[in-house]
């Protein structure tokens, strides 16, 4: 480890086409930082991305048996690297300290860095910079440990830590413990048959007509990455932000237990919200910018194949997320809708025109399973693929009684796939929301978290994440009072009673200003 004195300093903020945190840019991407300073570099074993991708994809191609639909995207590299033993320190003109270290995995398409020990002092900031000055950060003392950084492009990444003047970081308080070597290249999707994206050509963007009734529900869906305990690989699945009976906007997120089921795995989650195309054809306007890291495990069960986590930090209000409604009545609708992220692609939607049927767990997790799952398919529009695991099964918007657009299941797996530009005759199984509602304890059932007062409610509608402002609430209350008064006044006027003139219409006073 070396320490240098660097004078003077000029920080150049470069425009970033996609980045997670729109705060101060890291020092390392400035012009001055790149003059004559050699940042120490750690080389990790090379990866053959094409061979790794082919090997993992081969496991997903067996259409004769149901398979899970989580998707491997990166191979792990355990390390022990930190500012007390590695890298280089510099003292900047303002007295602050800058530490940097570069890690490289030859052949990797992107990198996924995890710090299992993370305790920054107040005023400190951490960044990770990938290819083309793409960066994630700053992360601060407010971020929870362990910290998993959203992916950055390229085979090399620079870690940058900045400490305020007079501040120090103790031994082991920041330790890089894993470098995931990506082999699917999320940053350069491959065009297929005129439809850009990694998923099969029969998949349908949520911006297409099939998705129009579900614009609110689309804002509840996250694509996420996590590091698995069993093999150290990084996988992707899909998850849904949920509502609860009190409608207090707790940040509960539902996914599949076969994706993740431990606190270590939950802590490694990197969630990407609103990752969807704004047009039906192609992938226009997609972005990874709305991401956050880290969750806390609340409940999980293998037979019903569900996991409920809670976000460590509230989502940014500007993301305009939605908390999904749900239905635990175990009543099968006449058809079903799936909304998901197949093969790391932007948000897609599928439709099954027939009622889901009850079945056992098709991926055989959790030992004995009796009637814990819905069977869906064949689909007449869209399908599911690797990465779709954990996504929700929804009651169609056209269902009678106002129960439409509520979640009733979580994808476990199946055989469904594309057959060219149309879905094949395969099927899928979804863990029933109703099967996970009850269980032996709070850590194995949903009702304690989504109905904490025990009201007995079994079906609720979704709500927006952002609460109405006081002005909105006052306006809504005034409008409700005027509507009620109008309903009461009408029969009085018909009888020649009450005030003879109509009250001033709502909103006219504000329009005069």
Q: Which residues does 239 contact at the CB level (< 8 Å), separation at least 6? A: 221, 222, 224, 253, 254, 255, 271, 390, 391
Sheet strands (E) in 360-405: 373-376, 392-394
- From the list 268, 369, 388, 389, the catalytic residue is 389
SS3 of residue 453 by DSSP: coil
SS3 of residue 81 by DSSP: strand
- From the list 49, 110, 244, 258, the catalytic residue is 258
Q: Max CA-CA distance within the chain?
A: 92
- From the list 116, 178, 305, 424, the catalytic residue is 305
* 323 counts as catalytic: no
Per DSSP, the residues of 10-56 read ---PPP-SS-S--SPPPGGGSTGGGSS----EEE-----HHHHHHHH
Q: How far apart are CA 329 and CA 311, in angstroms?
A: 27
Closest C-alpha among 341, 311, 338, 312 to residue 237: 341
* 305 counts as catalytic: yes
Closest C-alpha among 149, 135, 140, 144 to residue 117: 144
For 170-189, b/e burial (b = at least 16 CB within 10 A) is eeebbbbbbbbbbbbbbbeb
Tell me which residue has tokens 């911006």: 207
* 502 counts as catalytic: no
For 38-67, b/e burial (b = at least 16 CB within 10 A) is ebeebebeebebeebbeebeeebeeeeebb
Q: Any idea which residues carry the catalytic annotation?
A: 258, 305, 389
């Amino acid at each position: 480890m070396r320490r240098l004195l660097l004078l003077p300093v000029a920080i150049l903020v470069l425009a970033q086409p996609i980045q997670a945190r729109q705060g101060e840019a890291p020092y390392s991407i400035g012009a001055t930082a790149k003059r004559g300073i050699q940042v120490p570099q750690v080389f990790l074993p090379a990866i053959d991305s094409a061979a790794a991708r082919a090997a993992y994809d081969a496991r997903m191609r067996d259409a004769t048996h149901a398979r899970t639909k989580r998707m491997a995207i990166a191979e792990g590299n355990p390390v022990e690297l930190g500012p007390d033993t590695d890298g280089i320190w510099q003292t900047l003109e303002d007295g602050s300290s800058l530490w940097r270290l570069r890690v490289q995995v030859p052949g990797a398409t992107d990198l996924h860095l995890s710090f299992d020990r993370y305790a920054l002092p107040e005023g400190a900031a951490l960044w990770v910079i990938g290819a083309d000055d793409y960066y994630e950060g700053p992360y601060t003392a407010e971020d929870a440990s362990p910290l998993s950084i959203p992916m950055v492009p390229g085979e090399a990444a620079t870690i940058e830590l900045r400490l305020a003047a007079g501040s120090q970081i103790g031994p082991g308080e920041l330790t890089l413990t894993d470098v995931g070597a990506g082999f699917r290249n999320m940053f350069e999707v491959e065009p297929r048959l005129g439809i850009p994206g990694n998923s099969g050509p029969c998949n349908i963007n949520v911006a297409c007509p099939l998705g129009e009734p579900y614009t609110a529900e689309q804002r509840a869906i996250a694509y996420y990455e996590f590091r698995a305990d069993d093999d150290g690989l990084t996988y992707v699945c899909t998850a849904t932000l949920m509502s609860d009976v009190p409608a207090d906007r707790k940040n509960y997120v539902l996914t599949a237990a076969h994706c993740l089921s431990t606190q270590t795995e939950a802590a490694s989650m990197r969630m990407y919200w609103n990752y969807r195309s704004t047009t039906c054809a192609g992938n226009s306007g997609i972005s990874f910018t709305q991401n956050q890291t880290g969750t806390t495990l609340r409940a999980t069960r293998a037979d019903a194949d569900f996991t409920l986590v809670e976000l460590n930090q509230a989502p940014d209000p500007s993301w305009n997320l939605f908390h999904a409604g749900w239905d635990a009545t175990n009543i099968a609708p006449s058809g079903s809708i799936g909304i998901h992220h197949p093969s790391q692609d932007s948000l897609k939607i599928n439709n099954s025109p027939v009622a889901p049927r009850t079945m056992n767990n098709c991926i055989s997790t959790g030992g004995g399973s009796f009637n814990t799952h819905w069977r869906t398919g064949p689909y007449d529009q869209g399908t599911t693929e690797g990465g779709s695991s954990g996504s929700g099964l929804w009651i169609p918007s056209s269902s009678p009684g106002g129960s439409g657009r509520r979640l009733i299941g979580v994808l476990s797996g199946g055989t469904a796939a594309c057959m060219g530009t149309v879905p094949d005759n395969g099927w899928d199984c979804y863990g029933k929301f109703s099967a996970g509602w009850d269980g032996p304890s709070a850590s194995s059932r949903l009702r304690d978290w989504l109905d904490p007062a025990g009201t007995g409610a079994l079906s609720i509608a979704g709500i927006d994440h952002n609460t109405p402002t006081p002005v909105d609430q006052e306006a809504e209350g005034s409008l409700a009072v005027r509507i009620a008064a109008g309903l009461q006044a009408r029969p009085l006027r018909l009888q020649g009673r009450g005030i003879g003139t109509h009250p001033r219409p709502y909103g006219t006073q504000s329009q005069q200003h």
